[in-house]
Structure 1
């Protein structure tokens, strides 16, 4: 359990899934469903974390999937009112720790090309640009910047 600015980072458990799904709905135009979260939690090689406020509310979540020594970030989402306060960084650091624990060679992610704050955070944490996926995101349509962190 990690504490950052009164935010606790915990493994995402089924009890926390409704809160994580609410974060998805607040952050994304095509959010994951509760069923999608529950399915993800059952996958071998999947690892998910929740960020909880001091009141116990789920204010963010992050996940990764791994196969054959390579990991891919499935999502990092933080409620708007908890952004720029260390929540996203704490979640990303939890993913990095999980990647090391899983002995991954590298961790990949996609980020909207216009999301300068997230790109800056990922670069701060050792991710580097790898390429562009044209039109990767929908609603609105946008390119994704692919980034990687090697271990």
Structure 2
């Protein structure tokens, strides 16, 4: 499977909350971009079931694998570690599970950060909310990598 290759994100990183709830506090997604992101996820994440997140703030749009186990070694979002693989917050940022290699690319290129409670069993990274069409394309690629990590195949 192909690892993420991302461009460097323009500008400084947004401010985020230092603890739980881990939210993005600046540089939030415009409403239109956030709605397009949610629509893209709803239309493109096959095999995913959409329902309220088991760990996020109320109103987060979450994506689960129901009836399909993730590949051996994949650790999805708590509490179950094998069902929810991504969710979108009201601010447009996302939390998701990614491979270690893709996490490094995300963080190193400035597109996101590890969750404050990150550990081997809390495999959660934040993807900053996209602000432009170009950033929306990057977000789609990162979400596709999360989907690949969770399911074992590409979109």
Tell me the TM-score normalized by structure 2: 0.28
Relative to its length, the structure with more strand (as a share) is: 1
Relative to its length, the structure with more helix (as a share) is: 1
Higher relative contact order (CA 8 A, sep 6+): 2
Tell me the TM-score normalized by structure 1: 0.28
